[in-house]
Structure formats: structure tokens, C-alpha cells
Amino acid sequence: MKTFTILKPDDWHLHLREGLVLKNIIKFTSDYFGRAIVMPNTKNPITTINKAISYKNSIAQALPENSNFQPLMTIYLTDETDKDELIQGYKNNVFFAAKLYPANSTTNSSHGVKKIENLYNIFESMEDSGMPLLIHGEVTDSDVDVFDREEVFIDRELLPLVKRFPKLKIVLEHITTSHAVDFVQNNKIGATITPHHLHINRNAMFFGGLNSDFYCLPVAKRETNRIALRKAATSGNECFFLGTDSAPHLREWKAFCGCAGIFNSPVAIESYLTVFEEENALDNFEKFASLNGPNFYNLPPNKEKLKLVTRPNKISEFVNIIEEKNIVGKIKPFHAGETLNWQVEGIVK
């Protein structure tokens, strides 16, 4: 049995949802991560200071007792975002960052931004105040192939943005292509990489019939891209850090409409570790999981430590959503039914 210890990680991109789902899934993150950036694409998106405060309160209420987990809140940018509210919310520590969803690019993004140039005066203030901009980097034009949307976004939208706002703190979220890897490194912006994009290529969605369990946005791409992502994540390069994009959808919805999103928070650390071990890069895991993110966001790393061990770890088929002791829903986790070789042993003080 191998064991090793790292500083407690953070999740720099997470969907916690609301209500019953939030209550049932938050422990998967709060047990082992110090902080998480909470995405604002709730059914009624987090577009104001008041909504962010009330969402943060509901997260605090859902946390296990004595948890010291810190949710970092984001504001969902729209064509109507009020610049003063945004900056006030940032300066008063309500918002940690702003999230840009191009309109209709992903789950609950219909209120997203229609024309990025219209937000340029907001980006100017963000650049001045140091507020990070987190980007879902995909164009949505119906004539752009779904597998090309990230690349086209980078060339058409991100490049001009980076040139115009060189000091703006930008994170390209859940990158999926070698083009993104190169762009991030060359322009010294930040990027999160999910566990699933390190494990699957686009074949996974078509294996044994159409399989929405492996459908997320941006969609997984060709194998060459997966290889580039694995190299980037395990390189130790400070541009790349952990962001699970864990995005739970109840089984009935996933099966019915095949909505985009993979729920990986119950297995995220083990899933990443599997990749780092396969790439002979366990020495770089702490950088990716616990150091590069805080470094990018100018935060101290967590103080506590996490102990990890090699041990057969069978992943359950479903996580139950429970209300008053009754199972009222199920969510399929990433790696369901597989046995991974790693397990989180626990926190070491």
C-alpha cells in the first residue's frame, strides 16, 4: 500500500445546485476540499449581491456541523449586469469572481451574455480592481461544429479580450483541447481541468449506444486533446489547477433529456490521482490540487493536510438523494461501478 499526504486541495469550479440536491451532495466537497468556487448557474441565476448572499447562506446551512469549508461565490454576467453592483460585491467580499457564460452555451445559461464586447466597460473595472473573470469558452453559433466551439471561442473572443485587457485575471474553465493548453501557457492566464476530460475522449459518449453519462460541456474531444490535457495537468505548470466542474443532474433528467454535466465530486480526488499515477507524476499532484490555484488567486494554501492511500475503491452505481430518510432521487457519479486504486484516507491536522 502506498500512502502520501498533500495540503488540503480546493475545487476552483463546482456546481452545488440548491435545495435537496445541495444538502445531499455538499459533503463530497466539504469533507476534503478547503474552498470551492461555486458556479452561479442556478435555476434562477446569481446575478445580484442579494442573491449571492442568500445562496451562500443556504450553502452554509447545508454544510455538515463544524465544517470549515469556504464557498467562494460568483456573479453570473448578463447583458444587464450593473457594473457598480459587481464591483461593490467584489470589494465587499460577496463575489469572489465573475462568470461569463456565452448565452445558451451550457446548462442554465439562457440569461448569459449575447455579445461579449458589450461587457468591455465591465472588464475594464474588473481589471482595475483585480476581480477574476471565469470563462465558459465556447461559441454557440449553430454553424460551428460542437467539437470546434472551444477553439473558435479562443480565436474569435478570447484572443481579442486578452490583448485588450492584459492585466485582467482570466481563467479559461474546464479546458478540453490542445489549442486551449497552448493558449493558456502562451498568454499566462489560468485554466481549470476536470477529472473527466483527463479520462475520456469523445468516443465515450457513443459507446454501447448514445451515452449521456459522459456528456458534458464543453464536450470531450479527440484522444490527442485528452493526451495534451493530461500532460498539462500533470506538468506542475502553475497555469493549470484543479476544477472538477462536478455538475449533478438527477438520473431521471439525465436519462430523459441527456442534459450536459458529469457528477464527479464523490470521486474527484481519486480520479485525478489515477491520472497522475498513470503519468508517473504523483509528485506534481499537490501543485495541481492545492498550490497552483491559491497562487493564481493570491490566497494562502490550506493549512490542513489530506492523506491518500492506494486501496481498491469500488465506486457505487448511484448517489442517493434522501429526504426524511426516503430515497427521492439518484445521481450517477463519474466512474460508477469501477474500482479505482486510490482512496482518500482523511484529514490530518
Provide the binding-site residues for ligand NCD, judged by CB under 6 A: 15, 41, 106-107, 136, 216-217, 245, 247, 260-261
Distance CA 348, CA 252 (A): 38
**Contact, 22 vs 14, CB < 8 A?**
no
Q: How far is the CB of 11 from ligand NCD (least distance, A)?
A: 13
Pairing state between β 70-76 and 133-135: unpaired
Count of CB atoms situated within 10 Å of the CB of 310: 15
Which option in ligand NCD, Zn ion, none does residue 8 bind, with CB closer than 5 to 8 A by kind? none
Using CB under 5 A as the binding rule, whether residue 138 contacts Zn ion is answered as no
* Count of residues that interact with Zn ion, criterion CB under 5 A: 1
Nearer to ligand NCD, 216 or 291 (CB): 216
Amino acid making up residue 221:
K
Q: Of 12 and 296, which has the nearer Cβ to Zn ion?
A: 12
Q: Smallest distance from the beta carbon of 16 to Zn ion, in angstroms?
A: 11
217-256: which residues touch Zn ion (CB under 5 A)?
A: 245
Chain position whose Cβ is nearest to ligand NCD: 261
Nearer to ligand NCD, 245 or 286 (CB): 245
Residue tagged 495537468 (cell numbers) = 233
Work out what residue 217 binds among ligand NCD, Zn ion, none; the CB cut-off runs from 5 to 8 Å by kind. ligand NCD
Minimum distance from residue 230 beta carbon to ligand NCD (Å): 19
Shortest reach from residue 348's CB to ligand NCD, in Å: 32
By beta-carbon proximity to ligand NCD, the closer residue of 95 and 342 is: 95
136's contact among Zn ion, ligand NCD, none, with CB below 5 to 8 A by partner kind, is: ligand NCD
Which option in Zn ion, ligand NCD, none does residue 260 bind, with CB closer than 5 to 8 A by kind?
A: ligand NCD
Nearer CB in complex with Zn ion: 236/258: 258
Q: 327: Cβ–Cβ under 8 A, 6 or more apart, which residues?
A: 320, 321
Residue 216's binding partner, choosing from Zn ion, ligand NCD, none, with beta-carbon cut-off 5 to 8 A by kind? ligand NCD
Contact letters for Zn ion, residues 76-115 (x by CB under 5 A) = ----------------------------------------
Tell me if residue 31 is catalytic. Answer: no
SS (H, E, C) the chain: CCEEEEECCCEEEECCCCHHHHHHHHHHHHCCCCEEEECCCCCCCCCCHHHHHHHHHHHHHHCCCCCCCEEEEEEECCCCCCHHHHHHHHHCCCCCEEEECECCCCCCCCCCECCHHHHHHHHHHHHHHCCCEEECCCCCCCCCCHHHHHHHHHHHHHHHHHHHCCCCCEEECCCCCHHHHHHHHHHCCEEEECHHHHHCCHHHHHCCCCCHHHCCCCCCCCHHHHHHHHHHHHCCCCCEEECCCECCCCHHHHHHHCCCCEECCCCHHHHHHHHHHHCCCHHHHHHHHHHHHHHHCCCCCCCCEEEEEEEEEECCCCEEEEECCEEEEEECECCCCCEEEEEEEEEEC
Which of 10, 213 has the CB closer to ligand NCD?
213
Q: Which of 155, 182, 245, 283 is catalytic?
A: 245
Residue closer to Zn ion (CB basis): 150 or 245: 245
Shortest Cβ 76–ligand NCD spacing (Å): 11
Kindly state the smallest distance separating residue 300's Cβ from ligand NCD, in Å: 27
β-partners of residue 248 are none
Q: Which does 45 bind (CB under 5 to 8 A by kind): Zn ion, ligand NCD, none?
A: none
Active-site residues, by number, are 245
Q: Which residues sit at the interface with Zn ion, rule CB under 5 A?
A: 245
